[in-house]
Chains A and B, each alone.
Chain A
Amino acid sequence: MWTTPGRLRAKGIVGMNRRNIRYIGRYNDRRLFPLVDDKLKTKLLAKEYGITTPALIGTIKSQFEVKGVARMVAPHPGFVIKPAKGSGGKGILVIERVEGDSYIKPSGASLNHVDIERHVSNILSGLYSLGGSPDVAVVEALINFDESLSVYTYEGVPDIRVIIFQGYPVMAMMRLSTAASDGKANLHQGAVGVGLDIASGGALRGVQFDRSRSDHPDTGHELASLQIPGWQTLLELAAGCFEMTGLGYLGTDMVLDRDQGPMLLELNARPGLAIQMANGEGLRPRLDLIERQPPGVSVEERVAFAQRHFARRGELQAVEQVPCPA
């Protein structure tokens, strides 16, 4: 049931307190938080830096615009409504397709336009925003999700979380939505986390509800063969977010679009620690190594450095392969 602080330390696990004081407190300037806490700002900034993001359908800024939401989304087969200042995936509504007046969620549940309007109204009044301040609803086009990965996920879009420390990608995982997570890719809601090798983008280890697993709970597909296409581009895109925001300790959420390749979905200035569970390894040694690197290194060099030093062999494959002596 319990482990000891010594064993966690030996594994290099970073705890909540250490994350808050030592990394977020030290490397993330408060002043820069609005850039990532407001998804609209992030989106506009990303555009400026040439980082691709899902297409913006529109924004709803005041209650009297709420009635116009149906007209706004009409030309689009599917869309996502999110609060600009939401946190932890709260208030994100994904509509896969529209059939007449029914808006179908990835789970198959159907909503009518009153439900959609209520959701937007809730977003505007600050229900999902940090501190309950009035908010803006952002409507984005649904991502044309890369079919090669569809066997690994159930309903929603899987996204890839890469922790960027001082511009170096230090750890990555893929988050696969499940029935339990209602199409959302948040680990604490029941999504499956798959640790990814920084060098290759291959699967290392899978977890759900903080416990290991080797297959997807809903599709039953094994996770070992998971391999992210366009991994190099994805890492470089993610690493570039350091220059874009100036935040030293950053969680980047990336998605793979069928046509446009890796895209930035959103940024998080307070990324969670579950990624350590998915990787079966603590962040601490990697963060310590990066802290010793000189500043002013280009994105390509940083990615290359990370790929050289953080290469790991997946535990999942090890079951099938005969381990070769080093």
Chain B
Amino acid sequence: MSRLPFYLLVGALMIAGIALSVHRHVQFEVPWTPGEQRQVWEIEAQVNFTAQGGPAMVDMALPSHQQGYRVLTENTASPGYGLSFLEDERGRRAQWSIRQAAGSQLLYYSVQLLVAPDARPPQSRRPELQEDIVWERPYDTAATQVIERAWQRSASPFTFARELIRDFSDDRQSENSRLLLNQFERAPLLVRLLNDAGVHARAVSGLMLEDGRRRQSLSTWVQVFDDDRWSLFNPVTGEQGRPNNLLMWEDSGQAVLEVQGGTNSSISFSMIQHNQPAAAAVRNQLANDTLINFSIHSLPLEEQALFQTILLIPIGALVVVLLRVLIGIKTSGTFMPVLIALAFIQTTLMTGLIGFLLIVAVGLVIRSYLSRLNLLLVARVSAVIITVIAIISLFSVLSYRFGLNAGLTITFFPMIILSWTIERMSILWEEEGPKEVLIQGGGSLLTAVLAYLAMNNPWVRHITFNFLGVQMILMSLILLLGNYTGYRLLELRRFKPVTED
């Protein structure tokens, strides 16, 4: 009987688990430790216009994931307006619409951006060249000369753009460029000249991020393409490269804001920067779920909290498997300790331990009386359940009276499980004596405490919740342990006399 398929399965699970986790770490910036702090920018855009009394429509460009920044959440405040988010070849845009509006209108859009130095730049498609560019006199000659001059002194699209922009910078403005600047806006003019010379380029809008700034406006940049590579140029200074604190707001050469049915439209930005724990930053991440980045974070918050606990259970199970297979500890009920450990998470360890011992001890005393009543098993266990509930209620009330609020958490104990534990312990006591009860009860408690320590560890909680791939790794570990034929630790003691002679 070959074990090969088994090891292949274990190996596949292990690799898939690790790959999924690394993918989540790299692709979504989910940190390995919960303590890491992440920088988050909160940016608010305020759109202002005067409506003309009829229907109005506002179309605004929105930032998307990009080099250095990742969009976490976005909100809008626009009472009375219909709103939809669009994503097409023009990029991400928000559209507000209203049937009737008059007077000054204010629309708000706010976005949270995570500073993510490793975020990859999005795939940027090269814009088409503007066809049939026609210059009117006398600009045609000026344009031709400016292009010719820069062309001579350059070797590639990037160097050409640099030379061209330098011709328009303040200290070296030529006659021609001054003429052109009089007629055209700087950025569209540059794009037009570049296109005329056969260089793909477009004007894009970006926001310089500075902490605590208000009433900022977007700056225009020229994006120049050399095949698939692109570079940003400052249209005023000709500087090449993207400043680190530049957030690209609109990057497909479209208008940032289009208003129909209104005049005097303007947009201004305010921004603030703060640090927040990485885990929280991850939680805020927009859920764009595909099969591969399947994530618990796409669930509503309440279900997420539930899953946070559910995903810890495999850790508890692993502890039980380790203790039983490798150490050889006896427990009362195989996974009862995991459930007790889950209760400890709610009650905290000391309260939990005291509560557990109190309930089981009192339960055992009452159970010993029940055993004399000669009842059927199901009825007896049911009686024990009611007894356990009574004990729990009594302790809750008493601890509340004495001002021990911690005592109230005792209600988190799984009552049915406790009742069965009491029943089993009691039978064990009758059949094997108190020693065995101590061994199994102690083993269960030890397992529960270790499972609790493992499950309550902040790092473990972070890892299990944020990396679903870890579940596969746990699965493969448990499968491997299920295949362990070596000695248990306690057997080294048990069988010692045999090796003595």
A residues neighboring B (CB under 8 Å) = 1-5, 7-8, 10-11, 13, 15-18, 21-22, 26, 63, 90, 114, 117-118, 121-122, 125-127, 132, 189, 207, 210-212, 276-277, 280-282, 315
Contacts and interface: CB of A to CB of B under 8 A. Distances in A.
Contacts of B496: 1-3
Interface in B119-169: none
19 contacts: A2-B496, A3-B493, A3-B496, A10-B499, A11-B498, A13-B491, A15-B487, A15-B488, A16-B488, A17-B325, A17-B484, A21-B483, A90-B431, A114-B374, A125-B378, A211-B497, A212-B497, A277-B498, A280-B501
Given A8-B487, A17-B485, A280-B498, A3 B377 contact: no
A25 B464 CA distance: 32
Interface string B12-27: 0000000000000000
Kindly list the 7 A-B residue pairs having the minimum CB-CB distance in the complex, ordered from nearest: A125-B377, A18-B485, A15-B487, A3-B496, A118-B374, A7-B499, A3-B499
Contacts of A114: 374
A90 B498 CA distance: 28
B322 to A, nearest CB: 12
Nearest to A282: B498
A125 B376 contact: yes
A210 B328 contact: no
A7 B501 CA distance: 12
Given A207-B497, A276-B495, A280-B501, A18 B377 contact: no
Contacts of B374: 114, 117-118, 121
A8 B492 contact: yes
A21 B282 CA distance: 43
Contacts of B427: 127
Nearest to B433: A189
Interface of B: 1, 325, 328, 374, 376-378, 427, 431-432, 483-488, 491-499, 501
B486 A11 contact: no
Contacts of B325: 17
Contacts of B494: 210
B426 to A, nearest CB: 11
A90 B436 CA distance: 14
For the residues of A in contact with B, the DSSP-based class is helix
Nearest to A122: B377
B501 A17 contact: no
B491 A15 contact: yes
B325 to A, nearest CB: 6
B485 A3 contact: no
A114 B496 CA distance: 45
A17 B488 contact: yes
A8 B488 contact: no
A21 B378 CA distance: 34
A5 B492 contact: yes
Contacts of B486: 5, 15, 17-18
A185 to B, nearest CB: 15
A3 B495 contact: yes
Contacts of B495: 3, 8, 11, 13, 276-277
A121 B376 contact: yes
A3 B492 contact: yes
A117 B375 CA distance: 11
A314 B376 CA distance: 50
Nearest to A276: B498
Nearest to A91: B431
Contacts of B376: 63, 121, 125
A282 B491 CA distance: 13
B46 to A, nearest CB: 68
A5 B498 contact: no
A206 to B, nearest CB: 12
A281 B501 contact: no
B235 to A, nearest CB: 73
Given A15-B491, A121-B374, A276-B498, 5 more contacts: A1-B496, A8-B487, A11-B499, A13-B487, A13-B495
Contacts of B328: 16
Contact of A127 (B1, B377, B483, B492): B377
A315 B501 contact: yes
A211 B493 CA distance: 12
Interface centre among A10, A122, A276 (most CB of B within 10 A): A122
B118 to A, nearest CB: 44
